[in-house]
Amino acid sequence: MRPILIVDFEATCWGPDTLPPSVPAGRAYASEIIEFGCALMTRPDRVERTWQTHVRPTDNPLLSDFCTELTGIRQDQADAAPYFIDALELFRDEFGIRGGAQPRFASWGNYDRNALLDECAYRNVEYPFRDDNHVNLKAEAVKALGLKRRMGLSRTLEAIGLAFEGRPHAGVDDAWNIGRVVMEMFRRGWKPPVKRPGS
Ligand code: AMP
Ligand code: MG
Ligand code: MG
């Protein structure tokens, strides 16, 4: 099986009572990535390992209380973390993402792909994955698990009789729990989508 790398990003955010900062020129979002949460699957029936790094934001280096409560990421962790371009290098090294063969990049929805595209463009670093290399697991889960519609991760776990393990919105815990959903999808006969040759 081609390895599946589940990635869940956390990003700076602001609560409903706060005016969010303006979006800097050259960006689609004001939010900056502050955590890579990852879970690697090389077999359908297990998550081989998880990995995470926090990331130090530059435009809005102070995390809002809302953000720390949501993600569990504290200010001292953000302050001690590598900047995005260095975190991206760590990520590439960790999972051997260097052209040629690369694991499938899978995430719960398209948010994570868009966040990575935006962050890489803004920081002027090469997007690490091939264009066609993304699996939207939130969409895949609908058929694979017989859901009525696309659902959030916690609701999907509930639908298959599992409780969330760890802390929701902590990137590495989200990635681990997505892995548990993917194992159930495989048990029910799911096959990762095959892209067009050459695409
Ligand atoms: P998640 O993977 O669901 O934890 O979401 C990824 C990122 O989306 C978070 O780190 C936040 O930046 C943002 N986000 C998620 N849920 C919320 C929310 N309820 N309010 C504001 N931002 C959110
Ligand atoms: Mg997420
Ligand atoms: Mg998350």
The pLDDT tens digits of the residues spanning 20-44 come to 899 999 898 899 999 999 999 999 9
Q: Residue 123 belongs to a domain with what CATH number?
A: 3.30.420.10
Counted domains in the chain:
1
Give, rounded to a whole angstrom, the gap between the first and last alpha carbons of the chain. 19
Identify which of 6, 7, 9, 10 to mutate to test ligand 1's pocket (most ligand atoms within 8 A of the CB).
10
Tens of pLDDT, residue by residue over 40-94, are 999 999 999 999 999 999 999 999 999 999 999 999 999 999 999 999 999 999 9
| Distance of alpha carbon 174 from the chain centroid | 8
The atom number, within ligand 1, closest to the CA of 12 reads 12
Is residue 196, in this structure, part of any structural domain at all? no
Identify which of 17, 35, 110, 169 to mutate to test ligand 1's pocket (most ligand atoms within 8 A of the CB).
169
Protein residues placing their CB within 5 Å of the ion ligand 3: 8, 171, 174
Tens of pLDDT, residue by residue over 4-18, are 999 999 999 999 988
Bin 161: left if φ > 0, else alpha if -120 < ψ < 50, else beta: left
The atom number, within ligand 1, closest to the CA of 169 reads 4
pLDDT at 194 over 90: no
Sign of CA pseudo-dihedral 136, 142, 145, 151: positive
Domain that holds residue 166: 4-187
Is residue 198, in this structure, part of any structural domain at all? no
